[in-house]
Structures are given as C-alpha cells and as structure tokens.
Structure 1
Amino acid sequence: MLLVGYCSGIRSERRLCEEVHLKLAYRWFCRLDLSDPVPNHSTFSKNRHGRFRESALLRHLFEKTVARCIADGLVSGQRLAADASLIEADANKQNATPKEDWDHNAIDPNDAPRAVKEYLDVLDNAAFGAASEVEPKFTSHSDPASQWTAARKGPAFFSYSTNYLIDTDHAVIVDVEARRSIRQAEVGSVRSMLDRVKDTFDLHPEWIIAPSH
C-alpha cells in the first residue's frame, strides 16, 4: 500500500486507505479482494514505530535494492553526490519552550514518551545534539529532536533533514540518513553514510560532490 502512495503522490496515510478502499486497481495491486477489509491508517505508524523500527527491516530492504543495482551495473560507487532535503516535523509550534527555559536534565526518561526518549539518546550524536554547541531558539515538547529553523526564508518551523548519498552514474540513492536541520550535522551524516556504504557494499568513491556552506 505504501508503494501505491509513493507512486501516486498520496502523502496522507489516512487518505491512502480511503483510496485503496475505493479503487479496484489499488485493491488488485495490494492483493485485496472486494470483501477484504483495508488496513487502518494507524497500522502504518504502529509498524513503523514498533516491530519494523526494532528489526531494521526497512534498512534491510533498502540495502537489498542497492545491492541489486550494483549487481546490474547501475552503481559503480566511484562518483557520489551528497545533499539534504528539509522535512517539516509533525510538531506544533505553539507547544514549545524557548532556549533560556529548556533543560533536558530535568526530563525523567522513565516517564518520557517515545520521541523524547529518542531525543535523549541522540544528544551526543554528531548528527543531532552534538553537531553544534548553539542551542535552538525553541525546543518542541512533543518532538525535541527536531530543529527550529527558518531555512526556507519564511516563517520558522520544526524540521528534520534527510541526507542522501547518490551514485551519479544513474542517479541511484545508495544511502540515506535523517539528521537535525543544521549545517554542522550534514558533515557527520555524510561521514556516517560513506562508512556504511564502504562496510556494506565495499564502495570506495574517487570523488564526492557536496554543497558548500
């Protein structure tokens, strides 16, 4: 079902379930009979944050796809490009604390929700909390790992960045890593991705294209 959403530009998982329920072609692709119920939209988030997250299944599927591209000669690993895309976080701008009032040491990890626990786990990560000593202007209560940014030259919002490593031979993405939306974190992410493709696929690029900041 997610493939249907990606290929058809359906970004809402709730709407995706409605579309699959109504359209026979989508039902056929998802191997659902006319009488079969369509999964509830909450199934996606439960799997994403539950068993799939702990099992690294999505990473495994991604790397199997890249390995197939390498085997078919679509990826040489000699010429790579790195860049990032800004992704708006699902965080209410009104539910936030200014930097002068924010103290992560006051958070009890035992009582914290999942997103806050993950924030505490990455405070020392070079792609997140440790990427810069500059504290964000605001910190979200529901998703404190997201970054307050005005990078789009408009109203500020909470965001993440997805960093891509692309083989330029046929524009195949060979690795991806989410990070905090600050420029210093991009260096740490690129290093992590280069180490990962080296260990996983034995790729040793001759050169890398990256934006200058």
Structure 2
Amino acid sequence: MMGCQSGGQEKLFYSFNLEDHVPNNHLFRGIDSYLDLSDLRKYLSDFYSHTDRPSIDPELMIRMLIIGYSFGIRSERRLCEEIHLNLAYRCFCRLGLEDKVPDHSTFSKNRHGRFRESETFRHLFETVLKQCMSEGLVSGEGFAIDASVIKSDASKDHSLPGNELINWKDEVKPSFHRK
C-alpha cells in the first residue's frame, strides 16, 4: 500500500532535543569538551558598557568564529546564515532552535572593534597554547614555519633580541580549564 503524508493541523508542541541530532563523534563535540570560555567575560569586562542594553555574548562570538575558522567560512554574512541553518553549529554555539543568531553587521562590529582593541584573540591563543602545554600536547621549546614567501617591511633593526621573547614554560597555568 502506498503511503501518503498526512496534511492536517500542525502540532502545538514539539519534543525536540538538539543534542539528539548531533552525532557523538562530531568535531565540535570534541572541541567543546576542552573549550572553556568562562573567564572571557571577566577579561573583556572593561571593554563593555555597564549602563547600555546587553550586547551579544562574547562566548557566542568566539564559538561562531571557531566554526568559521574550522570550516573555512570567511564571510561573516555566510557564517551567520550557516549557524542559523546547521543544528550542530547551533548546538556548539549553545543556541536553541528559537534563539536568534546575531546579525552579521553586529558580529563584524564586535569582531573588528571591541575584540581587536582588547587583544582578545591574542589572549585566547596564549590561553589555548598554555592549556596544550599543560596537557602535554606541545612542549613550547621550538616552533615550525612554512616556506611561504611573504613581503613585509620587517627590518633587522626592529627585531626583538632573544632575551625579550616570551618564555612559555615560565608562564602561569592557563585561565581556561578543562570541563
């Protein structure tokens, strides 16, 4: 007997758990198990007004950027659209089905303004690097570079002497902790 999709009235309530629709082995589940951005708000508190309306959560912004970098989504407009449509991305960003994804222009203003002024990306990079060192994933003793030729106006007269470089081994423990 041939089936037929029933037309009729839509349900008033749905039972839907976003977690049930993202595979256990999804890339972002692995990233999320190590990513703790709880100290981010404290780090950025001086860059936000305490009297205006609430802004977009900085943790959401960083999670969105991780998605963009992980999948090569360079357009902020497209990134916002992809997060709106993709259940795994919503889950990673901790957005429910009915939660709004930030507008691409607001996202851009925060990324190129507040985040750049506060050196948030440097702070995150150093924190993740320290966590990787504490987990034994990297030693911090050496580094590798590729052979890309890039024009620059660098000068030997303006380089840092070796004793002014950061000694990562002497740095404090990471501020973001494993869940």
TM-score by length of 1: 0.42
Relative CO higher for 1 or 2, CA cutoff 8 Å, sep ≥ 6? 2
Structure number, greater radius of gyration: 2
TM-score by length of 2: 0.48
More helix by share: 2
